[in-house]
Amino acid sequence: MTPEMLNSIGLFLNIAGVVLIFFYGLPQPSHDEEVSIGVGMDTVLEDGRSVKSMVDEVRRRKVRYKRRAYLALTLMLFGFLFQLVSVWLLKLLEIWHGVIMSHF
């Protein structure tokens, strides 16, 4: 694989990671300072859903967003590694070639 191909793969992975981060963001801590009156899990809301079903939906969405955000970070990390290898690949190959040829 040529350095140009590795660099291109790295750039593609970085772009894909950045797009995912843009849409799904990174998990952030909650900074809520307010206290609210709670409702029971069996309370039915105006749209006909129960509080429990709404809470379950929010939890599933939170897990989905968190997984996609970490996938985005992983893609960016691998993109960086591909680009790093592409920059140093030829230099390392030249060094290894010189070392091997010096033994013969």
Backbone angles phi and psi of 4, in degrees to 5? -65, -40
**What confidence tier does 81 reach under pLDDT thresholds 50, 70, 90?**
very high
pTM of the entire predicted model: 0.71
Q: Which of 80, 64, 102 minimizes the C-alpha distance to 6?
A: 80
Mean pLDDT of 82-92: 86
Residue 14 contacts by C-beta under 8 Å, 6 or more apart in sequence?
75, 76, 79, 80, 83
- Give per-residue pLDDT as tens, 6-55: 999 999 999 999 999 999 988 777 766 665 667 777 788 788 888 888 88
Q: What pLDDT is recorded for position 80?
A: 95
What is the structure's pLDDT at 32?
66
Report the mean per-residue pLDDT for the chain: 86
